[in-house]
Amino acid sequence: MTSSLNLWLIPVLPLAGAAINGFLGKKSSRTAVSVVGLFFSGAAFAWALSVAGRVSSDTLPYQEYLAHWIRFGGVGLPGSFSADFALYLDQLSLVMLLVVTGVGFLIHIYSVGYMWDDPSYYRFFSYLNLFMFFMLTLVLANNYLVMFIGWEGVGLASYLLIGFWFTKDSAASAGKKAFIVNRIGDFGFLIGLFLIIQHFGSLDFTKVFAQVQPIAPETAGAGLLTAIGILLMVGACGKSAQIPLYVWLPDAMEGPTPVSALIHAATMVTAGVYMVSRSHLIFECAPQALMVVAVIGTLTALFAATIGIAQTDIKKVLAYSTVSQLGYMFMACGVGAFSAGIFHLMTHAFFKGLLFLAAGSVIHAVGGEQDMRKMGGLRTYIPWTFMTMGIATLAIAGIPPFAGFWSKDEILWKAFSSDHGSWVFWLIGVITAFITSFYMFRLLFMTFFGDYHGAQVDEHGHGSHTHGHDDHGHGEPHESPMVMLVPLMILAVLSVVGGLVGIGNRFEHFLEPVFGSGAATEAAGEAAGRGTELLLMVVSVTVAVLGFLLAYLLYVSKPYLPQKIADALGSFYEAVLNKYYIDELYAKLFVKPLIDGSTSILWQGVDRKVIDDSVNNAADGARHVSDEVRHMQSGNLRSYAGWIAAGSAVVIAYMIWMGVR
């Protein structure tokens, strides 16, 4: 091991920023707050870069021990358990580290422009830095427990930032929804961790995985690993918004747009993918759990994509798109192609972060409006936003040579060719790719082409948005300031070239020390399937282009058609528009019984009937008894004498009886 890398600096720097802005920000100027916020997140990025420069494949994995935490039982004895604050760096966490700090820093810069007019400017940067701290803790953890701290911490930061405009009712309840739905997932995650502790006596990644490896998939231990795997997946479902716990993510769009970009697109929601990839040894020994991951991912990808078609809120489209893309990542993990999943995670962070930031720029331009039907024709007003968003759209649609093409194609190829994969996954993946391409170009066309529909809503359309930009009057849509455009451009460049690292499986080879032997089986498949792979690639590009053409047909050349189709589809369109009524279904199935049960059983039944009544009855009883006993205190001296005499008679009788006995 070489000299210390001082990894601890990376998470601690944003924490310091959060503390400074949180405690002192209220009295500081906006400039000071921006400087602090940007400096600490930028410093974390710089340190991450320097760490990346200093490590090589020989020095990884690198571990850094910071402090004792929980220890009981002698070291090595049965029943003993220990968990320390310690950091772990390997190729996987290095990729995550750079994505989180890099994209995070860019979004910090963007936020300076986007949030400048907000009265709680300092609070925003404090939360944002706090999020960075927790996310980096999650990524750098050396055991599941430290990871869990980060895991919960990003949930907290997410809650705070979704509810950032907490005076708005919908934002406050969206924050709560996100937190509660995540809690369901965390419950599964925790039980998974308990199982790991019980059977492996440790939470350290290295120790757990060392014990997992000898368990072959056929042995009795496999049931245990399947259970752990599925429970971890439940946790990942919550954090990464997969079926059935995806419902919080679309609502999370109530938060400021930079938050949607950073937390709900680029980084936090990918924590589940990271966690599953980190636990890949467990999953590889539990084929059933892997199957669950793949099925959930595939279904989510398709399901969320179909909802995305009918949404009219620009951020909601992107939210469902995020859910769908996360489904892709899980599909990749589920077929054992973890490096493909991480590859897509990285490119997705670039292009989806860009999409959200560009959407934020659009919203900024039209004065807080998020409804795409009230936009249109914006490309002449905000050309830079249009260009960068166009690049991101090409990237997510999977048009070569943009980033999304390489990673998506990798996933589709793995879904088809891997041992755990099948043509079903591939087919659904391709259908999803088509839908993705369609709704993304739909978004682009509705927003930037045609005529601007925004002017007439300007007068009244603003009141409902507690937005930083309401107060400067909007006649014409206007381009965002440079501080917002530069991050867009950088991310656009990354969205173009980010996929090139995947050419010739270079990215996969980079992650090979982590994910191991995947390449061996791959090599065999590679030789046999070169032609097939090319064919599949052509198919996926074709569907992407088809999606583009369909969107062009419907929204540019014949804009009256979508309404006709919607009318023709009738109730089905209604269902899609209302997100398949999933929220209503959950409300009926879970929320309402829970509220009713809490009201009638817990509140009226247990709390009022049992707890309140037992206390009240005890008090009532004491009063009644005292009421009766009070009459002994008559004030009549002779009755007192009588009591004394009777009492002594009883005592004497007792003593005599004892004596006789």
Residues that bind other proteins (CB under 8 A): 630, 633-638, 641-642, 645
Closer to other proteins by Cβ: residue 623 or 638: 638
Closest distance of CB 634 from other proteins, Å: 6
Closest distance of CB 618 from other proteins, Å: 22
Closest distance of CB 644 from other proteins, Å: 9
Yes or no: say if 279 and 212 are a contact pair by the CB < 8 Å rule: no
Closest distance of CB 621 from other proteins, Å: 19
Cα dihedral 313, 182, 343, 332 sign: negative
Closest distance of CB 647 from other proteins, Å: 12
Closer to other proteins by Cβ: residue 581 or 640: 640
Closer to other proteins by Cβ: residue 73 or 642: 642
Q: Which tokens is 514 given?
A: 């982590």
Whose structure tokens read 């009549």?
Answer: 636
Q: Please work out, in degrees rounded to the nearest 5, the angle formed at the alpha carbon of residue 293 by the alpha carbons of 291 and 299.
A: 100
Q: Residue 636 is which amino acid?
A: N
| Alpha carbon separation from 301 to 229, 280, 294, 320, 436 (Å, rounded) | 20, 21, 10, 9, 9
Beta-carbon count within 10 A of 457 CB: 16
Cα–Cα distance, 555 to 535 (Å, whole number): 30
Strand partners, 89: 62
DSSP state string for 344-361? HHHHHHHHHHHHHHHHHH
Q: Residue 58 is which amino acid?
A: D
Cα–Cα distance, 656 to 633 (Å, whole number): 29
Cα–Cα distance, 77 to 79 (Å, whole number): 6
Closest distance of CB 633 from other proteins, Å: 5
Cα–Cα distance, 341 to 502 (Å, whole number): 12
DSSP-derived pairing of the beta strands 81-89 and 62-72: antiparallel
Reported as type and span, the H/E element at residue 183 is: helix 169-200
Gyration radius of the chain over CA positions: 30
Closest distance of CB 652 from other proteins, Å: 11
SS (H, E, C) 21-55: HHHHHHHCCHHHHHHHHHHHHHHHHHHHHHHHHHC
Residue 62 DSSP class: E
Closer to other proteins by Cβ: residue 27 or 638: 638
Closer to other proteins by Cβ: residue 80 or 634: 634
Closest distance of CB 598 from other proteins, Å: 45
Closest distance of CB 622 from other proteins, Å: 16
Closer to other proteins by Cβ: residue 497 or 646: 646
Closer to other proteins by Cβ: residue 606 or 650: 650
Closer to other proteins by Cβ: residue 615 or 646: 646
Closer to other proteins by Cβ: residue 75 or 660: 660
Closer to other proteins by Cβ: residue 516 or 642: 642
Closer to other proteins by Cβ: residue 638 or 661: 638
Crossing angle (nearest 10°) for helices 482-497 and 403-417: 40
Yes or no: say if 355 and 265 are a contact pair by the CB < 8 Å rule: yes
Sequence-distant (≥ 6) Cβ neighbours of residue 394 within 8 angstroms = 402, 404
Cα–Cα distance, 617 to 610 (Å, whole number): 10
Closest distance of CB 656 from other proteins, Å: 13
Closest distance of CB 631 from other proteins, Å: 9
